Amino acid sequence: MKLSKEPETPRRALIYCRVSSKKQSAEGSGLDSQEHRCREYAAERGYLVDAIFPDDVSGGGDFMKRPGMVALLAYLDAKPFENYVVIFDDLKRYARDTEFHLKLKREMAARGAERECLNFKFENTPEGKFIETVFAAHGELEREQNGRQVRQKMKARMQQGFWVFPKPVGYRYAPSKKGGKILVRDEPVASIVAEALEGYAAGRLETLTEVKRFLESRPEFPKSPNGQVTVQFVSELLTRPLYAGYYSHEAWGISWRQAQHEPLISLATYNKIQERRENGAKAPARKDLNEDFPLRGFVLCNDCHEPLTSCWSAGKRKKYPYYFCDTKGCDAYRKSIRRSDIEEKFDSVMRRLAPSSKLIDLAIAMFKDAWEQRGRQTEEVSAGLKRELALVEKQIESLVQRVMDATCATVISAYEAKIERLERQRAEFKERQQHLQPPKGSFEKLIEHSLVFLTNPHKLWASGDLAAKRTVLRLAFVERLAYCRKTGYRTPKTSFPFKVLGQIHRGEYDMVEPRGIEPLTSTMPL
């Protein structure tokens, strides 16, 4: 009797697919079409496909940086006795770097895997190995040529004033009338970023931590999964000239230049931010400020002039809020002050700041007179800026000529650094010229918000959240207030607007010198 032949066990296969970007993966069908062709190839040869390993990582570098390839090799390691066939749609999907191509070939062989490609036949012969190496080298050449072409196009766009890298927070890309894409404001995030930057420049937000809290308090602002913004992110936000409409790229030899997109802040604001970053904030932000104790860190102990701290003290039936001095050696050390005493007396201080309606009318007249006087000075200041700009441009032209004539690399580098500083100065002069134009709108409309605060600062204090209250403290006072347990608050030192109004109220009518932008002029007798 003749025995029937047992059917052969089909080979088992793994499929590897790769596209060069996540965008291709999301918008195109690259991975799906590759998988479909590889499955058809496996079916024609009777292979059973066990798993698919996709990748959407760009470039042709280290294959160990591709999650899909790492998973494939791990799968082979987990099944050492199964001689898999690994199928690729195209040799370029395998590796586009000669060194890593050969290295990946050895890794596959060490795991007993056989490679098969839809458009290339691997042969274990001297000629086959040579042809495979040539194909791999050609893929690397093509990849590097494409990369060079892309970089050249990106550099050309940057030289024309267009940002080409990932969009910063507060911007999005939109089609440009000049071709390509341009950064445009992404609201409401753009306004939040602008408010944070201007707040730090003006000192309303004194530290990185306060900027961090401000951004976290805005629901529309993008945050990490835990709902927070990192201090590192805030630091990068404050140091990006892109928000002022400027950029540079040292690696590509692109010096400081003005961008085509709309800035969120002025260059003067950006420079002020860098100055504050360099010099440091005047006062650290406290991590324990909260709605329960808005005056914590602002009110000082009258005995030692150190900031009062605060806490909730447990009683028999409930907790009670207190402020107290925690400075050892102070006569008032650990002596509690009821929160109601401190905050009610501070409420009275805020109420006394509000000037009378007649005083406000007088202040408006004074402000309007100063406004008109400054308008008359605009032409003179503009002429001065033109002279300064011409001088800077002449210096740049002279330095460029020196760079062309110089042969020492150190000297050239020094000239180029000075040219970049002068270019920033030129950009600042041009921006100041643009802002010399009188703002649109009536005088009354422009100072409306300021008058609301000056008329009744207590209203903002009483109705605002913690951030608003801290802003009121900075706008109304130039120094923190000392509190005496027996007599209450010492005489506060108010900010300039309230100080002027107070002097008028008391009849102190000293002549005020007219002040322009620059230089300072004086009509006072010596």
> For the whole model, what pTM was predicted?
0.54
Q: Which residue has the higher pLDDT, 122 or 345?
A: 345
* CATH number for 122: 3.40.50.1390
Last residue in a domain, options 151, 181, 202: 151
**Residues 205 and 175 reside in one and the same domain:** yes
Q: Is the pLDDT reported for residue 283 higher than 50?
A: no
- Of how many residues is the chain composed? 526
* CATH number for 202: 3.90.1750.20
Give the tens place of pLDDT for each residue, 310-321: 898 887 788 889
Q: Are 372 and 442 in contact (CB under 8 A)?
A: no
Q: Which of 264, 446, 455 is nearest to 355 (CA)?
A: 455
**Is the residue at 164 inside a domain?**
no
**Residues 38 and 122 reside in one and the same domain:** yes
**Residues 196 and 228 reside in one and the same domain:** yes
Distance CA 295, CA 340 (A): 12
**Is the residue at 345 inside a domain?**
yes
**Residues 112 and 211 reside in one and the same domain:** no
- Angle between helix axes 267-279 and 189-202 (nearest 10 degrees) is 50
Give the tens place of pLDDT for each residue, 346-402: 888 888 887 766 766 776 777 777 666 666 666 677 777 778 878 888 887 887 788
**Is the residue at 422 inside a domain?**
yes
**Residues 391 and 265 reside in one and the same domain:** no
Domain, as residue range, for 42: 12-151
**Is the residue at 406 inside a domain?**
yes
**Residues 134 and 251 reside in one and the same domain:** no
Last residue in a domain, options 221, 247, 279: 279
Distance CA 179, CA 162 (A): 10
**Is the residue at 6 inside a domain?**
no
**Residues 140 and 48 reside in one and the same domain:** yes
**Residues 125 and 17 reside in one and the same domain:** yes
Give the tens place of pLDDT for each residue, 132-170: 788 778 777 877 788 788 888 888 888 888 998 999 999
Amino acid at 178: K
The β-bridge partners of 15 are 52, 87
Q: Are 68 and 54 in contact (CB under 8 A)?
A: yes
**Residues 28 and 100 reside in one and the same domain:** yes
**Is the residue at 500 inside a domain?**
no
Residue 433 CB-density burial (10 A; 0-12 exposed, 13-18 middle, 19+ buried): middle
Q: Are 244 and 266 in contact (CB under 8 A)?
A: yes
**Residues 70 and 186 reside in one and the same domain:** no
Helices of type H across 326-408: 339-353, 357-405
How many domains does the chain contain in total? 4
**Is the residue at 294 inside a domain?**
no
Distance CA 121, CA 200 (A): 63
Question: Cβ contacts of residue 169 below 8 Å, gap of 6+?
Answer: 189, 193, 221, 222, 237
Give the tens place of pLDDT for each residue, 108-138: 888 888 888 888 888 788 887 788 788 778 7
pLDDT of residue 97: 77
